[in-house]
Amino acid sequence: MILCCGEALIDMIPKPTHVERDGFVPYSGGAVFNTAIGLGRLGIQVGMLSGVSNDLFGQQLVATLGASHVDTATLIRSERPTTLAFVQLTDGHATYTFYDENSAGRMIVADDLPALSDDVSALYFGGISLCAEPAAATYEALLQREAGDRVVMLDPNIRPGFIQDIAKYRARLDRMVALSDIVKVSDEDLNWIYPGTEALTEKLEKLRKAGPSVVILTRGGEGASAFLANGFDVSVPVNKVTVVDTVGAGDTFNSGVLASLAEQGLMTKAGLRGASSAAVEQALSFGAKVAAVTVSRAGANPPWRNEL
């Protein structure tokens, strides 16, 4: 099982109404949540570890997970409110305003963490859950506790406006990257992690030397590349589609990559260290294929396997 560890929230998506102003429709979302949904719909055994409210939005999140075959046994339930992310779309590109104070997702602490069963082979971390305390420290503690025995993938999915203590956040990322087997970043993420005038290739080499066996770089419409432990790299183009919006695109890409690696039998530490260029290229191509379906329709709505 791949356990997705991080935020589950409600994306409030603008929709036209019969009056002058748009309304907002609640969609289940969150970067880590979207990846879990994507994996479940692709037929991969997956679970979700997150703080989730018992309120009406929390009930919606749990129902959405169940409908996409995501195991909810490790959810940490409470009476705190659900995080809301109001989305603004400009030419299909999404920006977010978060309402997260005292939320069920944000306020989990290390003592809330459950023991993990032996069938959990990999953990996935990322998103805003890595910068909002105390949850950020809780997820780091989980990673440190489990990284010795299980594969770890990390996608920081950096939201600069959400980071209150930049130095503390960068230090946490450094520690988590060092323990991760797969790290995926966008070109914007990479330039934020390593500010300066160096070329992307130099920054990627810094990231690769920090510890991961596989570093994945996404560049929007220019496709994705992966840099491997053996020094080789591979690249794939995006699948050309009519873009409705980009909500959940990167998260869905991650689910496709993880699904492909799992189906190829590579979701072990040794498997990733020895992964061939062809195997990783196959995983990137599948991730791009899955993401192309998501951007072709509104909101974070990953495809089911039979849609591919």
Instruction: State both tokens at 294.
Output: 């998501």
Cα 181–236–188 angle (5° rounding)?
65
Residue 168 burial by CB count (10 A; 0-12/13-18/19+): exposed, middle or buried? middle
Model pLDDT for residues 24-82, shown as the tens digit of each residue: 889 899 999 999 999 999 999 999 999 999 999 999 999 999 999 999 999 999 999 99
Between these two residues, 138 and 13, which has the higher pLDDT value?
138
Class of domain 2-303 (CATH, top level): alpha beta
Q: What is the pLDDT of residue 253?
A: 95
Q: What is the pLDDT of residue 20?
A: 76
Q: Does pLDDT of 246 surpass 80?
A: no
Mapped onto helix, strand or coil, the DSSP state of residue 212 is coil
Q: Does pLDDT of 250 surpass 80?
A: yes
Bridging pattern class, strands 9-15 and 84-90: parallel
Q: What is the pLDDT of residue 221?
A: 79
Indicate whether this model's pTM tops 0.85.
yes
Q: Does pLDDT of 252 surpass 70?
A: yes
Average pLDDT for 6-35: 89
Residue 148 burial by CB count (10 A; 0-12/13-18/19+): exposed, middle or buried? exposed
Q: What is the DSSP string of 131-146?
A: TSTTHHHHHHHHHHHH
Least confident of 4-8, 188-192, 229-233, 290-294: 229-233
**CB within 8 A of 150, min separation 6: which ones?**
116, 120, 121, 122, 123
CA distance 8 to 82: 8
Between these two residues, 276 and 94, which has the higher pLDDT value?
276
Q: Does pLDDT of 89 surpass 80?
A: no
Structural element, H or E, at residue 26: strand 23-29
Token pair 């570093």 is found at 215
Q: What is the DSSP string of 96-130?
A: EEEE-TT-TTTT--GGGPPPPPTT--EEEEEGGGG
Counting every residue written for the chain, the total comes to 308
Q: What share of the chain in percent tops pLDDT 90?
A: 71
What one-letter code names the amino acid at 203? K
- Helical residues (DSSP H) of 228-299, grouped into ranges: 249-263, 269-273, 277-295
Least confident of 96-110, 207-221, 234-248: 234-248
Mapped onto helix, strand or coil, the DSSP state of residue 178 is helix
Averaged confidence pLDDT in the chain: 92
Q: Yes or no: say if 4 and 124 are a contact pair by the CB < 8 Å rule.
A: yes
Q: What is the pLDDT of residue 92?
A: 61
Q: Does pLDDT of 215 surpass 70?
A: yes
Sketch the domain layout of the chain as residue ranges.
2-303
Q: What is the pLDDT of residue 11?
A: 86
